[in-house]
Structure 1
Amino acid sequence: MEFGIFIPSARNGYIISETSPQYSPTYSHMKEIIQTGEENGFSFALSLSALRGHGGTTGFWDDALESMTQMAALARDTTAMKLIGSVNILAIHPAIAARMAMTIDQISEGRFSLNIVPGGWHPRELETMNVWPGYEYNDYRWQYAGEYCQVVRELWEKGVSNFKGKHFQYEDLRMGPKPDHHMNIVCAGASDDAIQFTTKYADYSFRLAWGGKDALEGVVERFNAQMDEAGRTIRPYVALGVVMADTDEEAEAKLQNFIDNADLAAINYMLGGASTDSAQGGTSEILASMDTKGAVQMSTDFITGSPESIARQLDEWAEIDVAGYMLVFPDYVEDIKRMGREVFPLMKNFTPPKALQAV
C-alpha cells in the first residue's frame, strides 16, 4: 500500500480550527515536509489549487503557494517521490497546462501527474478573477473538463491540436517537445459526471474518505463496478487525516480540541460556496451536509491514536482496494517523522518505496 502527503500549501492546511497549528505556507516549509516524507517511507504528494481563501479568524487558505510552480521546485528537491500538481481549468489555458506539466515531468524525470480541478464548489475565487462563467457552469463543468483534457492529451501525444468542440475550438495549436512517455491525469471529483469523466480521460481518481471505513468500501465497490463497465482499471487515491499522540486518549482529545474551537466564520464561508453547486453526489454536496466535526476536517475522515493504534487502523484501511492514502496531519514534519519511525515499521500492509528498499 502506498502512502502519500496532502501538501498543506495553503494557510493552515486542512483543519479549520483556531487551535490547530497556525501557519502561512512557505516553500522552505513545504520542502522540509516533502523531503522528510521521502526519508520516512512516503511515495507521493499532491498539491491543491487555491486561488482565494475562506477568511475567518484564522485566515484559512488566505495565503497559498501556486501548485505547479511549487511542484516544479519540489521536482528538483526530491529524488523519487511521485508529484501531483493541480490546475484550475477555468484559470489556466489547456495549452499552458499541457506545457507546464510536460516541463515539470522533464524536471522530475517522469515523476509528475496533472490533477484537473474544474471548480464549482468555491465560485467566489473565480468570480473575483472574472473567469467564472456563471452558476449554470456546474451543470456542464465535467463536459468542459473533458474537452480541456482532450486538448491536453492531443498536445502531449501529437504535438498539435485541431480540436473543435462546444467549449474549445483550435486550429494548429502546437506544443513541443512532446513527452516521451504516457503522462497521467488525476481527477478530483466524486459525482456521477466526474466518474464518467474519469473513465474517459483520467489515470487516477482522487477522493475524500468520509463516513468511516465501511462507507469507503461501499464507494470503492461502486467505483470499481463503474470502471469495469467502462473497461478501465483506474484506482483511487484517498485523503485521510491522522492525529497522533503518545496515547489514544491524548490523540482523541487533541482532535476534539480542534473541533471545539472551530473557525465557524471560515466554515460558513466554505459551506456557503458549496451550497451553490447543483452537482449530485459530488464534493460540494458532501461539504454542504457537514456537521461541525466534518467541516473542521473538510469532509475527510480522521483516525486518532498512539503510533500502535494508528498502525493497526491504517492496516485495516489498507485492506480496501485503493491505490493509496494521501495523509493529512496537524504538525506535518514531526508527525511524518513519527510515521516513519513508529508507525510504518509496525504495519503489515506497508511496502517502502523502491528508493528506501535499496537502502
Structure 2
Amino acid sequence: MEFGIFMPNSRNGYIMAEAAPQYDPTHKHLSDIVKAGEDNGFSFALTMSSFRGHGGSTQFWEGSLESMTTMAALAKDTTFMKLIGSVQLLLVHPALAARGAMTLQDISEGRFGLNLVPGGWHPGELESLGVWPGYDYNEYRWEYATEYAQVLTELWRDGVTNFQGKHFQYDDLQLGPLPEGGRVPIVAAGASDDAIKFCAQYADYNFRLAWGGIDALNDIMTKFNAAMEDAKRVVKPYVALGVILADSDREAEEKLQRYVDTADLEAIEYMYTGAVTDTAKGGTSEILASMDQKGAMQMSTDFLVGSPSSIAEQLDEWADLDVAGYMLVLDDYVPDIKRMGAEVFPKMKNFDQTKASVA
C-alpha cells in the first residue's frame, strides 16, 4: 500500500470552505510538502492542471502554479518520490506533452508520470482559454484521448509518428532523445466505462475519487480489475481520500463541521453548473453534480476524520481493498503530513515503511 499527496498547487487546495486554511500556492509551500512527504512515508505526489478559479468568498482556485513546470522544480527537491504532472489535452499539443514528459523523466531520473486530462466537467475554464469545442465533446472525449495517447506512445517508443486519425494527423512528427525504456508512465482519471476502457489500453495508473464509503469503492474496483484482467494489463489504481486529523475524534469532527457550516456556496455553484453539462454516466461529473453541501465542500471525496489512532484504524480498513495506493487530501498539509508519519503510519497494520522509498 502506497500513500501519496494530492498537491495543493491551486489556491486553497481541495476544501471549499471559509473556515479552512486560506492560501495561495507557492513553490516553497509545495517544496516543503514533498520534502515532508519523503521524510514521513509518502511515495508519490500529483499536481493538477487548472487555469480558472471558481470564485466565491474564498476565491477558490483563483491562482494556480502550472503543473509540469512545478514538477520540474519539485524533481530537484526530492530523491525517490514519484511525481505526476498533468496536461489538459485540449490545450497542449501532444508533441509538446510528449517532449515535456520526456524532459521531466530525465530531470527526475525516471520518477515522472504524465496525467492526461481530457476535460469536460469544467467547461468554463476551457471556454475562457478558447479551446472548448462544444458540449458534444463530452460524447467523444475519450476517443480524443485515445488518439492523443497513441501519438504519445509512438513518439516515446519510435521517436516518430505518422499517425492519421480523426482528431490528429501528422507526417514525420519527431521526438528525441527517447525516454529510458521507451515510455513515460501514463496516469488517467475517471470511473466511467469509457475511462476504464481507455485505462485498460494506455494507462499505467488510474486515479479516481473515493466517494460513498468502502463498499462503493470496492464495487468500482471489482469492475475495474475485471476490465484490466480482460485487457491482460496491470494498471495500478490510486484513490483520492481526504483526512481531517486532530488530537481527538471530537476535535476532528468539530473541525470538519466548521468546514461544512462555512462552505463556499458560490464556488460550489460554479463547480455544479459545469458538472451538470456533462452527460457521461458513471464519471466524475455525475458524482460532482449529485453532491449535497458537505460532499461538494469536499469535492466529492470521502474524508476520514479522527485522532491519529482512529485515522490509522480507518486507513487499515481502506487498505484491505484491492488498490495500489491512496492519494491524500489534507487541510493543513505540512503539519498533517508530519503527524501522519509520526502518529498514524506507525499504528497501522497495513503500512510498510520500507516500501515508501521505492519509486
TM-score, normalisation: structure 2: 0.98
Instruction: State the AA in 1 paired with 2:169.
Output: Q
- CA–CA distance in structure 1, aligned partners of residues 232 and 2 of structure 2: 24
Q: 1:262 — aligned with what? A: 263
CA contact (8 A) 2:40 2:340 kept: yes
Q: Please give the secondary structure, in 1, of the residue aligned with 2:11.
A: coil
Q: Is 2:3 aligned against 1:3?
A: yes
Alpha-carbon offset, residue 214 of structure 1: 1.2
For 1:73-222, what aligned pairs fall within 5 Å after superposition?
Answer: 73-181=73-181, 182-222=183-223
What secondary structure is seen at the aligned counterpart in 2 of 1:77? coil
CA distance in 1, matches of 2:255, 2:224: 34
The whole-number CA distance in structure 2 between the counterparts of 1:309 and 1:201 is 38
Cα deviations across residues 4-50 of structure 1 (Å, max 9, x unaligned)?
A: 00001100000000100000000100000110001111000011111
SS at match of 2:38: helix
Cα offset, 1:234, TM superposition: 1.4
Matched, 1:233 2:250: no
Percent of aligned pairs with the same amino acid: 67
Q: How many residue pairs were aligned?
A: 357
SS in 1 for 2:274: helix
Note if 1:351 corresponds to 2:352. yes
Partners of 2:340 and 2:77 in 1: CA distance? 21
In structure 1, how many angstroms separate the alpha carbons of the residues matched to 2:267 and 2:16? 7
AA of the residue aligned to 1:274: A
In the TM superposition, what whole-angstrom CA distance separates every residue of 1:266-314 from its partner, at most 9, and x where no partner exists? 0000000000011111000000000001000000000000000001110
Amino acid at match of 1:218: D
Residue 72 of structure 1 is matched in structure 2 by 72
Shift of 1:104: 0.5
Name the TM-score, length of structure 1 as normaliser: 0.98
CA contact (8 A) 1:43 1:353 kept: no
Whichever residue aligns with residue 344 of structure 1, its letter is: F
Misfit runs of 4+, over 2 Å: 353-357
> Partner residue of 2:251?
250
Alpha-carbon distance in structure 2 between the residues aligned to 1:323 and 1:102: 24
Q: Deviations over 1:205-263 (max 9, x none)?
A: 00000001111111111111111122222121000000000000100110011001100
Q: Which whole-Å CA distance do the structure 2 matches of 1:51 and 1:117 have between them?
A: 13
Instruction: Give the SS at the match of 2:291.
Output: coil
Are the counterparts in 2 of residues 101 and 112 from structure 1 also a CA contact under 8 Å? yes
| Matched letter for residue 114 of structure 2 | L
Q: How far apart are the structure 2 equivalents of 1:180 and 1:263? A: 45
Structure 2 unaligned spans of 5+: none
Shift in CA distance, 220/356, structure 1 to aligned 2, threshold 3 Å: closer
Aligned to 2:335: 334
User: One-letter code of the match for 1:128?
Assistant: S
Aligned partner of 1:262: which letter? Answer: A
Q: Which residue of structure 2 lines up, in the alignment, with residue 301 of structure 1?
A: 302
Question: Would the alpha carbon gap of residues 253 and 96 (structure 1) be closer, same or farther in structure 2, given more than 3 Å must change?
Answer: same
What SS is found at the alignment partner of 1:242? strand
**3-state secondary structure, aligned to 1:241:** strand
Inter-partner Cα distance in structure 2 for 1:315 and 1:83: 25
| Equivalent position amino acid for 1:113 in 2 | G
Equivalent-residue separation in structure 1 for 2:43 and 2:22 (angstroms): 26
Partners of 1:51 and 1:162 in 2: CA distance = 31
Cα distance change on mapping 1:125 and 1:70 into 2, 3 Å: same
CA contact (8 A) 1:188 1:206 kept: yes
For residues 184-206 of structure 1, give each alpha carbon's deviation from its aligned partner in whole angstroms, at most 9, with x where no partner exists.
10111111111111111111100
Superposition deviation, residue 51 in structure 1: 1.1
Aligned AA (1:80): F
C-alpha contact 2:2 2:356 (8 A) present in aligned 1: no
SS of 2:353's equivalent in the other structure is coil
